[in-house]
Amino acid sequence: MPIFEYQCNRCGREFAQLILNSKEEKEVRCKFCKSNDLMKLISSFSVHQAESSRLADFDASKPRGDDFYKDSRNIGLWAKKRMKEMGVDLGPKMDEIVERGRTGKILEDYEK
């Protein structure tokens, strides 16, 4: 099920919206202030997929492009934040994924 995350450019709040078709996607408005000035974030579905594949990839210790680190970092932090907000506890596995994203090379990239 395609659930998209949006950030409102007007009030800055984030919310999730279930999108059943492309027509609905165009009519999405902020749940808080009804603005249609929205920035689309990554979907929950994509995050779920990315987590497992990225976790599998991580131990390979191969050099990655900038996009990989940028993306992985965002997903880790974002996902943890979302899970917390939604009251979902994925346990140590989630923490491990996020911690990997916060240490080592990724951290160096983050500090720039």
Residues near Zn ion (CB under 5 A) are: 8, 10-11, 30, 32-33, 35
38: left (phi over 0), alpha (psi -120 to 50) or beta: beta
Q: Which is nearer to Zn ion, 10 or 102 (CB)?
A: 10
Q: Give me the least distance between CB of 85 and Zn ion, in Å please.
A: 16
Q: Give me the least distance between CB of 22 and Zn ion, in Å please.
A: 22
Q: Phi and psi for 4 in degrees, rounded to 5?
A: -105, 145
Q: Which is nearer to Zn ion, 32 or 45 (CB)?
A: 32
Q: Give me the least distance between CB of 89 and Zn ion, in Å please.
A: 28
Long-range CB pairs of 22-28 (<8 Å, 24+ gap) are: 28/4
